[in-house]
């Protein structure tokens, strides 16, 4: 496995995939960031709940994790809601392209991605900001 954790590998690959999306140009896309450093618009990718895959034997480098993609934007502009929804659609579309996500994992060489499974979405608004959160289950195998 080297020096990278499954969380680091998954977050890095998903961030690289989202950064490549032209519809998200101008949006800061990072792995988990401290709220004090958050600038709008931003997308934050975090991995949690990392564990082995129940259906697969332990010790073979198979891992699953919950990947959360959180998107934050200002609600000040007159077109803020439509821009927010366009960006949400871009994130959802990008995350549905499992073939492209697998290619990013392969190009980084740290793991092979088996699947990206959509789980849920949540939206909110507070203190002049819009938020959307998308949750996925990601399954990977580390090289032996």
At 1, the pLDDT band (50, 70, 90 cuts) reads very low
Determine contact, residues 90/19, Cβ cutoff 8 Å: no
Domain 6-141 maps to which CATH number in 1.20.1250.20, 3.30.420.10, 1.10.1660.10, 3.30.70.1700?
3.30.70.1700
More confident site: 135 or 53: 135
- What is the per-residue pLDDT for 14? 98
Long-range CB contacts (within 8 A, 24+) of 60-63: 60/141, 60/144, 61/1, 61/141, 61/142, 61/143, 61/144, 62/139, 62/140, 62/141, 63/6, 63/139, 63/140, 63/141, 63/142
Tens of pLDDT, residues 19-65? 999 999 999 999 987 677 788 999 999 999 999 887 777 678 899 99
At 143, the pLDDT band (50, 70, 90 cuts) reads confident
What would the two tokens of residue 111 be? 């793991």
The structure's pTM equals: 0.92
Beta strands 62-74 and 112-126 are: unpaired
CA 31 – CA 15 distance, rounded (Å)? 7
Tens of pLDDT, residues 47-58? 999 998 877 776
Strand order in the sheet with 112-126: 28-31, 42-51, 62-74, 129-141, 112-126
Question: Domain residues of the chain, as ranges?
Answer: 6-141
121-140 core/surface letters (b: 16 or more CB in 10 A; e: else): eeeeeeeebbebebbbebbb
Which of 4, 125, 102, 23 lies closest to 61, judged by CA? Answer: 4
pLDDT at 3 over 70: no
**Tell me, what DSSP letter sits at residue 55?**
T
- What is the per-residue pLDDT for 2? 54
Give percent of the chain with pLDDT exceeding 90: 80
């Amino acid at each position: 496995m080297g020096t990278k954790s499954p969380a680091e590998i998954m977050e890095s690959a998903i961030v690289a995939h989202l950064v490549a999306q032209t519809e998200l140009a101008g949006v800061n896309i990072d792995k988990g960031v401290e709220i004090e450093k958050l600038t709008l618009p931003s997308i934050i990718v975090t991995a949690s709940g990392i564990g082995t895959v129940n259906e697969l034997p332990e010790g073979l480098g198979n891992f699953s994790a919950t990947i959360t993609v959180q998107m934050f934007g200002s609600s000040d502009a007159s077109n803020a809601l439509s821009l927010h929804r366009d960006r949400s659609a871009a994130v959802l579309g990008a995350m549905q392209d499992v073939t492209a996500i697998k290619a990013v994992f392969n190009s980084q060489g740290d793991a092979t991605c088996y699947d990206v499974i959509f789980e849920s979405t949540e939206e909110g608004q507070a203190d002049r900001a819009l938020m959307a959160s998308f949750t996925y289950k990601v399954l990977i195998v580390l090289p032996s």
